[in-house]
Structure 1
Amino acid sequence: MVGAIVQKQTSSGVHPLKFALWLIIISIIMMFAAFTSAYIVRKEEGNWLEFDLPNNLVINTGLLVLSSVFMQLAYFAAKKDNLNQLKIYLVLTLALGTAFLIGQWEAWGDLVNRKVFFGGSDANPSGSFLYVLTGVHGFHLITGLIFILIVLISGFRFKVHSKNLLRIELCTIYWHFLGGLWVYLYLFLTLNH
């Protein structure tokens, strides 16, 4: 059956899609570990522009943490077969995730207004690193929003409920990971900037 997610497990007890998701998460962790390590090494080399981080990054962090709360509530609603709450919480998660991305775009605009650029002759490595860290995270967040939209559509088609939780479980894990990754990045940038 095309489009159906069968709730089968391997002999190890882990569903293949859940295993694949954990491999993706591990690879993203390794990528951001490399980025943040390179940030520290490059900063120590000198020629590092000091500037304040955009103020709205604090608000954006709050939006993403709140979206994670709504994502968890959506999962709980699915477990209780409360499909109306499931849809409401998923819409709220989508809205807050989108607001986060808009806030990140505005943060980039703030950086440009302060003459902090990515690449080119006017760029400093500190600004470029900030664009890369926030941009790559933003890309992954867009994939998370698409995933949430797919789960929401599945909810409207009554394919997400207590007997079919795999979609929303995978989505919840990924969304919490993206939220946790952003909190790490925000703290890293605040402490190392």
Structure 2
Amino acid sequence: MTAENNITENVKPVLSINKWKFITWLFIITIVMLFASQTSAYLVRRAEGNWTEFEMPSIFYWSTSVLIVSSVLMFLAQRAAKSDDFGKLKTYIAGAFGFGTAFLVMQYIGWTQLQETGIYLKGNPSGSFLYILTGLHAFHLISGLVVLIFALVAAFRTRIHSKNLIQIEVCSTYWHFLDILWVYLFVFLLYFR
């Protein structure tokens, strides 16, 4: 009987991770691989020649700032959830959603400015890559806005609170990732246009 107790005492606890966090990180890794392949293809194609250089629309600078503000709001939302400040939690998530939506509108305006300068999806590969990279990011940002809507609804139903932070943590992780991804793309496109 004492040997059985010794065996029980020597069992190490199994490490576990929340399934939603695991899925989020798998999705993030997939997106990183997608954009790594696209930026690599961009560099390879650029080196082949026949590449039109262009100025980035000024609104892309502003949209980058808008997205950074949305990331700050998500950080504040997560802090508000930890302290059970439900009013601020809802306000910050709604603000992050609003700034995210403004970013998408600004991206569209940037695309129209590019077209006014003669940079199109079809034509020179530089324009094609620009639209594809920014369009892929916009698509993923839309998925982030959907995640924000679910978090906002959960906040209104008080399902997000200091004892239940999984949803806001997953939402915040994904949103911050999308913001960092845009900053990377923006700097990449500025440097390698």
Normalising by structure 1, we get a TM-score of: 0.92
Counterpart code for 2:75: Q
Counterpart code for 2:24: L
Aligned to 2:176: 176
Aligned to 1:86: 89
1:159 partnered with 2:162: no
Structure 2 gap ranges (5+): 1-12
- The one of 68, 76, 81 aligned to 1:73: 76
Q: Distance in 2 between matches of 1:90 and 1:20?
A: 22
1:16 partnered with 2:19: yes
- The Cα of 1:173 is off from its aligned counterpart by 0.2
Aligned to 1:36: 39
Aligned to 1:149: 149
SS of alignment partner, residue 52 of structure 1 = coil
Counterpart code for 2:130: L
Aligned to 1:50: 53
Counterpart code for 2:174: Y
SS of alignment partner, residue 91 of structure 1 = helix
- The one of 110, 114, 131 aligned to 1:111: 114
- The Cα of 1:16 is off from its aligned counterpart by 1.3
- The Cα of 1:13 is off from its aligned counterpart by 2.4
Same amino acid, percent of matched pairs: 48
Q: Distance in 2 between matches of 1:181 and 1:66?
A: 15
Written as runs of structure 1 = structure 2, the 5 A alignment for 1:123-138 is 123-138=123-138
SS of alignment partner, residue 109 of structure 1 = helix
SS of alignment partner, residue 161 of structure 1 = coil
Counterpart code for 2:22: F
1:190 partnered with 2:190: yes
- The Cα of 1:147 is off from its aligned counterpart by 0.4
SS of alignment partner, residue 186 of structure 1 = helix
Counterpart code for 1:107: G
SS of alignment partner, residue 145 of structure 1 = helix
Larger radius of gyration: 2
- The Cα of 1:50 is off from its aligned counterpart by 1.1
SS of alignment partner, residue 50 of structure 1 = coil
SS of alignment partner, residue 133 of structure 1 = helix
Q: Distance in 2 between matches of 1:21 and 1:12?
A: 18
- Number of aligned residue pairs: give it: 181
- The Cα of 1:182 is off from its aligned counterpart by 0.4
Counterpart code for 1:130: L
Counterpart code for 1:118: L
| Higher share in helix | 2
- The Cα of 1:12 is off from its aligned counterpart by 2.5
RMSD over aligned Cα, in angstroms? 1.0
SS of alignment partner, residue 49 of structure 1 = coil
- The Cα of 1:114 is off from its aligned counterpart by 1.1
- The Cα of 1:84 is off from its aligned counterpart by 0.3
Q: Distance in 1 between matches of 2:146 and 2:44?
A: 35
